[in-house]
A and B are shown apart, each in its own frame.
Chain A
Amino acid sequence: MNLISFLQYTFIQKAFLAGAFIAVTCAALGIFLVLRKMSLISDGLSHFSFGAIAIGLFFGVYPYYVAVPLVMAGSLLILKITEKARVYGDASIGIVSAVGIAGGVIIASLSKGFNVDLFSYLFGSILSIRTAEVFLSVLLSLAVLAILYFYYWDLFSATFDIDYAKTTGIKTNTINVILTLLTSLVVVLSVKVVGVLLVSALMILPAAAALQIAKGFRSAIFIGCCFSLFSVLSGITFSFFLDLPAGATIVMLNVIFFALALLYKKTA
């Protein structure tokens, strides 16, 4: 089979379209998360989404309809625990993450029927994405990118120097809430691409690679988006031709890009 006939498959076109939007969104948001030392929030929220998806499957509701609001609530819970319970952010992420996984496993054991469906979310299944999911992915990605565009300078300032940002009238607490809510949206979207266990890689690796070679903040976002886009599209292609799992292939390509960026930095 050649590349032209490969691209004529509808399921490949859907995977490319949804994957491309999710890839760019993950990388753009990932830059802010990595620089703010908030990378692990994507890991915690992806684990939390496991429990939320299990609830959706248990009640026979389309899982994303349950996962989007619940994971958003989970992200706010992380902020609240950090603020009120006198624990650091990583500890609150750990708490919310554990609730998601433990809840998901208990619900799965109660159901006896949907374990196969639920566990497919652990590793993602971009090649089986449905038309409705493609629309949802494109729509939510555009919404996230639009918010990042309108809050670009606020996010930039609060990420570079939070004390100074406060003195220029930027509401840094609001910026934190926006960033975590956007992360929860993107996490839910990314579960379909790489699965619960690898979502954080899709947000951290392109950003970490871009930060090795970027010579400015805008260029860091642009390079991160390019790495992410290329890894998702080539990952889908390789997985098809080499009969490999798409999610894991995408993540390994991201790891290779990160290693190359690191090498380039050392030798340049």
Chain B
Amino acid sequence: MAIIKIKNVSVSYNSHEALKNISFDVEAGDFIGFVGPNGAGKTTLIKAIFGLVPLKEGSIELFGTSSSKFINWDKVGYLPQQSSSINPLFPATVQEVVLLGMLSQKKWPRRISRHDRIKTDEMLQKLKIEHLKKRMFSELSGGQQQRVLLARCLVSEPELLIFDEPSTALDPDSRESFFELIKNLNRDSKIAVILITHDTGYVGRFAEKLLYLDNHLIFFGKFSDFCKSQEMGRYFGEHHQHIICHQHHDASDKHHHTHYPPHNKPGSEKI
């Protein structure tokens, strides 16, 4: 069943067309890597899904409802780019931050119940960070903060998780365990995952499907189809296509690289 339906979506900022005629569906239980160079429209696409930017053309449905009228926010968990909008001076405890995840289930006036606190404690235990409960969020390491924000995402038991560049603030070991955790959630709890990254060579180790965006949709489908596609081979060049596919199959390789099709490399001219 499609939980997100995107049909012919275009979004413009002033005269710049950030997204051009995008169409695809996200099925329940999918794990999709959203990949593309900087400025390709990845974050804009997520904002469009959340109804935070107006559509120039097209339509988006979330769980069968138009995104502009969608109200069941507890079905969606969102982890924004770290430090992009979080107030670093904010004196919140870990428990308070995770409780914010319960607000999506509530109508005004939003109040936190004893049951919410119990669920929060359970989620902290599940992610093995219950010892941080009374600590100040701002005093934690990047990896710990990311786990807390993941707990905030998961506490409302969403059916869809959207991560925007979740590995930016993490060291390689934290990144590895974080992605493993997401992979397990997708596999064991059947939660659909959309993972935005510019890390083309790494995402394939975890995601089942690839969406390659460069203002318009370059590719959407299974990694195996991407690997077989002659069209993608021509677009990316066989070497880059091979690297992406190789990473997808070799789970023991912890190195990661950012790969762009030759004409999208920073500093290179677009076709």
Instruction: List the interface of chain A (C-beta within 8 A of B).
Output: 35-36, 150-151, 153-154, 156-157, 159-170, 211, 214-220
Most buried by B among A161, A168, A218: A168
Residues of A within 8 A of B111 (CB): 153
Q: How far is the CB of A141 from chain B (nearest CB, A)?
A: 19
Residues of A within 8 A of B152 (CB): 164
Answer whether A153 and B76 are a contact pair too, CB < 8 Å, given A161-B87, A220-B91. no
A156-B96, A160-B86 known, 10 other contacts, Cβ within 8 Å: A153-B106, A153-B112, A159-B90, A161-B100, A162-B85, A163-B84, A164-B100, A169-B103, A211-B89, A214-B91
Does B93 reach chain A (CB closer than 8 Å)? yes
Answer whether A160 and B71 are a contact pair too, CB < 8 Å, given A214-B91, A217-B91, A217-B92. no
Among A35, A150, A168, A169, which residue has its beta carbon within 8 angstroms of that of B90?
Answer: A35
Contact call A215/B100, Cβ cutoff below 8 A: no
Residues of A within 8 A of B218 (CB): none
Contact call B110/A216, Cβ cutoff below 8 A: no
Whole-angstrom distance between the alpha carbons of A164 and B106 in the complex?
Answer: 15
Whole-angstrom distance between the alpha carbons of A150 and B52 in the complex?
Answer: 25
Interface residues of B in 98-116 (CB under 8 A from A): 100-101, 103-104, 106, 108-112
Contact call A160/B50, Cβ cutoff below 8 A: no
Whole-angstrom distance between the alpha carbons of A167 and B103 in the complex?
Answer: 10
Q: How far is the CB of A236 from chain B (nearest CB, A)?
A: 29
Does B78 reach chain A (CB closer than 8 Å)? yes
Q: How far is the CB of A33 from chain B (nearest CB, A)?
A: 13
Does B178 reach chain A (CB closer than 8 Å)? no
Provide a sorted-by-A list of 9 A–B residue pairs whose CB atoms are within 8 angstroms: A35-B89, A154-B108, A157-B103, A164-B80, A166-B50, A215-B136, A216-B134, A217-B93, A217-B96
Most buried by B among A151, A156, A157, A167: A167
Among B85, B109, B134, which residue has its beta carbon within 8 angstroms of that of A161?
Answer: B85
Contact call B100/A156, Cβ cutoff below 8 A: yes
Interface residues of B in 68-94 (CB under 8 A from A): 71, 73, 76, 78, 80, 84-87, 89-93
Contact call A161/B89, Cβ cutoff below 8 A: no
Listed from nearest, the 9 A-B pairs whose CB atoms lie closest are A168-B104, A163-B85, A169-B73, A150-B109, A167-B78, A153-B110, A216-B93, A214-B91, A163-B80
Contact call A164/B93, Cβ cutoff below 8 A: no
Residues of B within 8 A of A167 (CB): 50, 52, 73, 76, 78, 104
Q: Select from chain A the residue with minimum beta-carbon distance to B99.
A: A153
Contact call A168/B87, Cβ cutoff below 8 A: no
Whole-angstrom distance between the alpha carbons of A160 and B101 in the complex?
Answer: 12
Answer whether A159 and B103 are a contact pair too, CB < 8 Å, given A166-B50, A167-B50, A168-B73. no
Contact call A169/B85, Cβ cutoff below 8 A: no
Among A151, A159, A215, A218, which residue has its beta carbon within 8 angstroms of that of B87?
Answer: A159
Interface residues of B in 129-157 (CB under 8 A from A): 134, 136, 152
Contact call B103/A35, Cβ cutoff below 8 A: no
Whole-angstrom distance between the alpha carbons of A223 and B78 in the complex?
Answer: 32
Q: How far is the CB of A36 from chain B (nearest CB, A)?
A: 8
Does B2 reach chain A (CB closer than 8 Å)? no
Whole-angstrom distance between the alpha carbons of A168 and B99 in the complex?
Answer: 12
Whole-angstrom distance between the alpha carbons of A168 and B108 in the complex?
Answer: 12
Among A164, A218, A220, which residue has its beta carbon within 8 angstroms of that of B85?
Answer: A164
Q: Select from chain A the residue with minimum beta-carbon distance to B153.
A: A164
Q: How far is the CB of B147 from chain A (nearest CB, A)?
A: 16
Whole-angstrom distance between the alpha carbons of A214 and B134 in the complex?
Answer: 12
Whole-angstrom distance between the alpha carbons of A220 and B89 in the complex?
Answer: 12
Does B232 reach chain A (CB closer than 8 Å)? no
Residues of A within 8 A of B108 (CB): 150-151, 154
Residues of A within 8 A of B110 (CB): 153-154
Whole-angstrom distance between the alpha carbons of A168 and B104 in the complex?
Answer: 4
Contact call A168/B91, Cβ cutoff below 8 A: no
Contact call B100/A168, Cβ cutoff below 8 A: yes
Interface residues of B in 31-83 (CB under 8 A from A): 50, 52, 71, 73, 76, 78, 80
Does B169 reach chain A (CB closer than 8 Å)? no
Residues of A within 8 A of B93 (CB): 215-217
Contact call A168/B103, Cβ cutoff below 8 A: yes
Q: Select from chain B the residue with minimum beta-carbon distance to A211.
A: B91
Q: Select from chain A the residue with minimum beta-carbon distance to B70.
A: A169
Contact call B71/A169, Cβ cutoff below 8 A: yes
Residues of B within 8 A of A216 (CB): 91-93, 96, 134, 136
Contact call B71/A161, Cβ cutoff below 8 A: no
Residues of A within 8 A of B52 (CB): 166-167
Answer whether A217 and B104 are a contact pair too, CB < 8 Å, given A162-B85, A163-B85. no
Whole-angstrom distance between the alpha carbons of A168 and B97 in the complex?
Answer: 13
Residues of A within 8 A of B109 (CB): 150-151
Q: How far is the CB of A9 from chain B (nearest CB, A)?
A: 39
Among A160, A162, A169, A211, which residue has its beta carbon within 8 angstroms of that of B97?
Answer: A160
